[in-house]
Structure 1
């Protein structure tokens, strides 16, 4: 993989500012927000200037119990090819639960949630990573996530978990130093000990982002300036190795371009100050990490296996993978992981009892954060809804989401919210209610007539 350098997260809101920033070597774009056949003009211009673009996925859920969805993998592969990307990245997280493995409805978190650091979860994650590697045309790197909650029965530290993942699969690592700081504040995990355990030769690149602390909880907002403690973690990492690339993330409350440039300068200064005198802040391309050796998904066989692998177990796994199904051991791990993740997500989104061993206060904080994020994203995909409801939008959405898990994407969530409002006779103003009914009718499509549809017919006749 080529040397990346200093980059910034490309977002439509700051596309013009990103194009105008000096010293940007590469950008990262959220994969799900891109259409392979119709790339944004800004990204096309950046690519023509020689700026690399890396698609960053958020919806695969490789840490979930189910096998990765083939359609999502194909979409990520298509985006990588359309962008000429040197690699693609995703997260070590689960984003959905339920379904066939638990004989229960599918639940969507709408957010990245932590996987338990257990042997079961590691076994499932490794198999899911191998499936993804085989489907992607370029190397894959995975990001550590920030978390408000932790699993009660972890068997491994984060560093041990990531090290074993790399050893078994050869996957690259995207280390988010802001997430290491978040987990230090929220869960007492020492970033130094995590870095001590990591195989930094697997490092693909680094994320840096801002956040804010409220009531003893660090919120990884990506909407605040990068703080000194986060830069200190970056300095620690940079003192150990030369990161192939470092990227500034910002997703909300975008500041002027001058402030973004200032944060990028702070990152450069941190890297230069942390590098030992005999080593440049950024390593040249000739000393890249393991992702150099992964020239395609078809060469994504593990780069670092245990010295004495269990060849019989590995052969059995390969035979089952070729046949498109799991070994019995992996299948049992998937079942146990599915039950645990479904119980947790149901508690967070449907108000069911907290699973044993979890911190109830932290679960409530996480549940409120999930509802707030759902409200934020629904407001973006359906801006008519907050306009119609005005100041009452968030209170109404919280009432809707309190015991209604998201079972589809955010657009479906917006439709379900509108149906909830209409069934409740809201908004109270007749004109606003008629406008909402029209909005719902235009987007809901054909479906069996329900209470909302009957109300629509009544309102139409009245109009």
Structure 2
């Protein structure tokens, strides 16, 4: 399906998105949509014939556990509500721990990289097949950006993605900004990744901005798209005409004119490459069918290839597998829980990781938590003022998130109140009422809220 040029729909820029010229489709974060009704802006876009694709962020298909049926059902419901041609998610894990490790479940609040190993690939592939069976439309998966690398990886990113496509038939959402991030942070060549991955499986492409600090690239989605990212888009365009390209922006939204300018730069990059001769893919093989094409041809004749035939001979010491054993899942669970605990709970770093990079990632996760909690509970920075950020980062240092951002906001407020903070009595009273309103089984009646507001005014005089 040809999607065209699109932009990430966010409530903060809904009006601007509707007014932008030449928008063929939009992408919306699935978890930010209600399961039974759509925002008015998305309804109007759909009435104009604009395709809306739900983009999931919480399945954690790269995690050790099988996908949660409730989360899958929620994504399927949103796909049906939107009438979308496909849904997308990430090749990542977002939580770890639980029964497999005998430890509490920890939430990253972020997309973390899975190790590019055969064991992690077996787990991922089975999880993807479960998701595919549960969704009413095709699934496409996105490569993620990473600050850290797992030790003893066995595959490059391109090889890992190629194996994933061969085994599951899943489509790919290639984020060229993430390829740039991994180039800066992990020394991985974007052109090599594009040579190795099955570009014919690409459903669409993400383009986004970021910023470099102290030699580390932060994939912020809050800065303008840079020339190197557009350069990787041009590299991809020299290999294939992608069905869709989408501009992502998640924060620090610029004026509509700047968004339009970035979209124009994307169009110009694609147009400049339209006359390019497609480059060979899959390690530079100039002729012969790709592995994915060969598998599809075999399937069409009813002669499904074995894993060794469709993915190439298995490396020494690796037997082809079709389902992840429980013991294998347990090993992956322990490794992921150890890493996530080091990042969010201050436990020792697992062996083989770069301690400096782990520190950077840990601080980035805490900063993101502070930013998101401020968005879901804007009263907290209003009550605490300039003390909010420092207080939250101190709270988050050894208190990992376990039940989402709204619960995190409540726990943060509770810890402050237990410690007798904030020092200002009026602010502490406001924080107490805020916590009581949200932590109680049911919210207080309107009369109670009015009385509290009146008391606050009187005390403040």
Question: Which residue of structure 2 aligns with residue 194 of structure 1?
Answer: 193
Shift of 1:306: 4.1
Deviation of the 1:38 alpha carbon: 1.8
User: Is 2:205 aligned against 1:206?
Assistant: yes
- 8 A contact 2:37–2:81 mirrored in 1: no
Deviation at 1:278, TM superposition (A): 7.4
Corresponding residue of 1:358:
353
Q: Hey, what does 1:285 align to over in structure 2?
A: none
Q: How big is each residue's C-alpha offset from its partner over 1:202-252, in whole Å with a ceiling of 9 and x where there is no partner?
A: 000000000010110001010110000000000000000000000000000
Counterparts in 2 of 1:439 and 1:174: CA distance versus 1, 3 Å: same
Offset of residue 277 of structure 1: 5.4
Identify the match of residue 334 of structure 1 among 300, 313, 329. Answer: 329
1:97-130 Cα distance to aligned partner (Å, 9 max, x none): 0001101100000000000001110000000000
Q: Structure 2 length normalisation: TM-score?
A: 0.87
Matches within 5 A, 1:52-451: 52-276=51-275, 306=307, 308=309, 329-446=324-441
Deviating more after overlay: 47-56 vs 268-277: 268-277
Unaligned 5+ runs, structure 2: 279-291, 312-319, 443-454
Q: Distance in 1 between matches of 2:149 and 2:303?
A: 29
Report if the CA contact (8 A) 2:203-2:244 is conserved. yes
Distance in structure 1 (CA, Å) of the matches to 2:75 and 2:346: 33
Aligned-partner Cα distance in 2 for 1:37–1:362: 42
Cα deviation, residue 330, structure 1: 2.3
User: 1:86, CA displacement in angstroms?
Assistant: 0.6
Q: Is the 8 A contact 1:168 1:305 kept in 2?
A: no
CA contact (8 A) 1:170 1:303 kept: no
Q: Distance in 2 between matches of 1:308 and 1:179?
A: 31
SS at match of 2:59: coil
CA contact (8 A) 1:168 1:304 kept: no
Question: Residue 350 of structure 2 aligns to a residue in which SS?
Answer: coil
- Cα distance in 1 for residues equivalent to 2:201 and 2:305: 10
Q: Which residue in the other structure is 1:452 paired with?
A: none
Q: Given the alignment of the two structures, is residue 35 of structure 1 paired with residue 30 of structure 2, yes or no?
A: no
Stretch moving more, 35-44 or 360-369: 35-44
Structure 2 equivalent of residue 12 of structure 1: 11
Structure 1 pair 122–307 and aligned structure 2 pair: CA distance change class (3 A): closer
Which SS does the other structure have where 1:247 is aligned?
strand
1:303 deviation in Å?
9.3
SS in 1 for 2:154: coil
Distance 1:307 1:97 in 2: 31
Asked if the contact 1:169–1:303 (Cα under 8 Å) also holds between the matched residues in 2, the reply is: no
RMSD: 2.4
1:172-217 C-alpha deviation (Å, 9 max, x unpaired)? 0000000000000001000011001010110000000000101100
Aligned residues: 418
TM-score of the pair, normalised by structure 1: 0.87
Contact 2:207 / 2:246 at 8 angstroms: preserved in 1? Answer: yes
Q: Is the 8 A contact 1:167 1:303 kept in 2?
A: no
- Write the distance in 2 (CA, Å) between the matches of 1:338 and 1:307: 27
